[in-house]
Amino acid sequence: MAAGIDDIALYIPRLFVDSADFARARGLDPAKLKTGLGISKMAIVDANQDPACLAANACLKLMQKNKIAPKDIGRLYVATESALDESKALNSYVIGMLEQVYGTDSFEHCGGIECKFACVSGSYALYDNCNWIRAGEAEGKSAIVVVSDIAKYDLGSAGEYTQGAGSIAMLLNDSPRLLQFDSKVTSTSIKNEYDFYRPFGKETPIVHGQYSNLLYLIQVKKAFESYKKKALESKLIKLKEGETILDHIDYLCMHLPYSTMGKKALAYLLRREWRHLPRWKQIVEQTGMDEPAPRNPRGTIESILADDEYMGKDHEFTRLFTKTKEFQQFYDDKLASSLVASAMIGNLYTASLYLGLRSCLEFEFQKGVDLEGKRIGFGSYGSGSSAMVFSGVIQPAYRELVKDMNIEAEIGQRRKLSLEEYEEIHENRRGPHQSLLEAKKEFVLVNVEKSPESRGERKYAFYD
């Protein structure tokens, strides 16, 4: 049985920090953020917003757009790494908010959980719900998977430059109009790591940046090797002499902690896919240097990062490799469109991969490309750590959905924050009733109970 994404909706906070203002305030060259990291604006939540109301707003937009009633939804999953409670699941908050619009107990039949595995958890939620549909358990109902996060780092830290916030809701069923996932090729890689984590009670993560970036590349590569094996054995993809499976993937969506990380991930994969093909000799000649190799190819990540000579040469080779005409053509054709929205919004953790999908669809369609039948490959990564690689094919009915996609219009009129306002929100110096924007047709947080017997209980309201 088929399963996939029937439609997709997003909700992005309307407050933002401009990267140039941010860089100057931190004593940085603005070009470092805009060019080096691919960041133009970072979406910031208002004082009356949290991951639950972001998720509920994306869900409501999805349901209203498709005229879906609660009785049509059999499952509602929320994937996040911005959890509000160690016991109460985020999807229960979302259902509570939606019932303010659709009526008390209107979702009581709807199963679901909160999923956690850093940024990869949304992909696991999609996979589980697609298998629920394929197994015939849906009985005509759809599932909604929501990815919702607030990427927040300590003031003055390196991660502060890669913040963002937002939510994406995806409607899944057995006759998807947008994207049908390829079955029996989804592949994973998992390992116990401490590259990025957030201990109980800590609002911001502990990050080992270089280690985490390299681990991301390695884990996605491992999952991709498993995907290749399944795709070839199942005859989903048939290779000719001198080809790689990436030649048969029309578009790529990668996990995007910041926009240019997608380009780095692509370079890492292509170097390892192309180096054994006839085309590689000509590509290396364009770089003007031999591809460097680590002293111990089977060494640890720590040993590779500690090899300054190798890391320097590898960085230089990658820089030159990304300037070759072969890489540029592949990048422009298959990845670049998925990075546009990330530069406008910032890091969305679990939602970053699916913001990339949304971006790819909108901006490729604007080019006049016929997307029907195109295969999209996904490289999902979550610290801790796990990667998932999977693919899907764009369906004939995609035009009725993609023709109306406009990220800027869907966000609405945005308000630029001063650095003082940003730091007030970041340091929680504003309460829910001290928001900077007036709520319009959206759910907001109105109170967090402080009394000992009900401490932490959250109240939300819908403002029409």
Residue 294 CB partners (closer than 8 Å, separation 6+): 303, 304, 307, 310, 314
The alpha-helical segments, DSSP class H, found in 346-435 are: 352-366, 399-402, 407-411, 419-426
CB-neighbour burial class of residue 342 (10 A; exposed 0-12, middle 13-18, buried 19+):
buried
For the segment 12-30, the average pLDDT, to the nearest whole number, is: 91
Q: Give yes or no for residue 121 having a pLDDT over 80.
A: yes
Q: Is 90 exceeded by the pLDDT of residue 1? A: no
Is residue 431's pLDDT more than 80?
Answer: yes
* Pair 198, 204: CB distance under 8 Å: yes
Residue for token digits 């047709």?
A: 441
Q: Which residues contact 12 (CB under 8 A, 6 or more apart)?
A: 43, 165, 166, 167, 345, 407, 410, 411
Give this prediction's pTM.
0.96
Here the tokens at position 267 are 């370079």
Residue 37's pLDDT is 85
H-type alpha helices, 116-184 = 121-134
Contact of 196 with 383, CB cutoff 8 Å: yes
DSSP letter (8 states) at residue 106 = T
Q: What is the model's pLDDT at position 33?
A: 80
Helix (H, G, I), strand (E, B) or coil at 300: coil
Predicted pLDDT at 42: 95
pLDDT of residue 444: 98
Q: pLDDT confidence of 425, banded at 50, 70, 90?
A: very high
Measure the CA–CA gap between 52 and 72, rounded to whole angstroms.
22
Looking only at the bridges linking them, the beta strands covering 386-394 and 179-181 are: antiparallel
Mean model confidence pLDDT for the chain: 96
Contact 167, 10 (CB under 8 A): yes
Closest CA to 410 of 150, 65, 140, 113: 65
Task: State both tokens at 195.
Answer: 């590259």
Instruction: Output the pLDDT for position 29.
Output: 85
- Quote the distance between the C-alpha of residue 362 and its chain's center: 16
d(CA 205, CA 197): 5
Paired tokens of 316: 């230089």
Give the pLDDT of residue 406. Answer: 96
Q: Which pLDDT score is estimated for 261?
A: 94
Q: Which amino acid is at 309?
A: E
Strands 4-11 and 164-173: antiparallel
